[in-house]
Amino acid sequence: MLILLGYLVVIGTVFGGYVMTGGHLGALYQPAELVIIGGAGIGAFIVGNNGRPSKAR
pLDDT tens profile 36-49: 999 999 999 888 88
Q: Is the pLDDT score of 2 beyond 90?
A: no
Residue 10 CA to its chain's centroid (Å): 10
Predicted structure pTM score = 0.51
Q: Is the pLDDT score of 8 beyond 90?
A: yes
Q: Cβ contacts of residue 46 below 8 Å, gap of 6+? A: 54
Confidence band (pLDDT; 50, 70, 90) for 53?
low
Amino acid at 39: G
Give the three-class secondary structure for 52.
coil
Of the candidates 3, 7, 37, the residue with the CA atom closest to the CA atom of residue 15: 7
Domain boundaries, the chain: 2-48
Q: Cβ contacts of residue 29 below 8 Å, gap of 6+? A: none
Confidence band (pLDDT; 50, 70, 90) for 56?
low
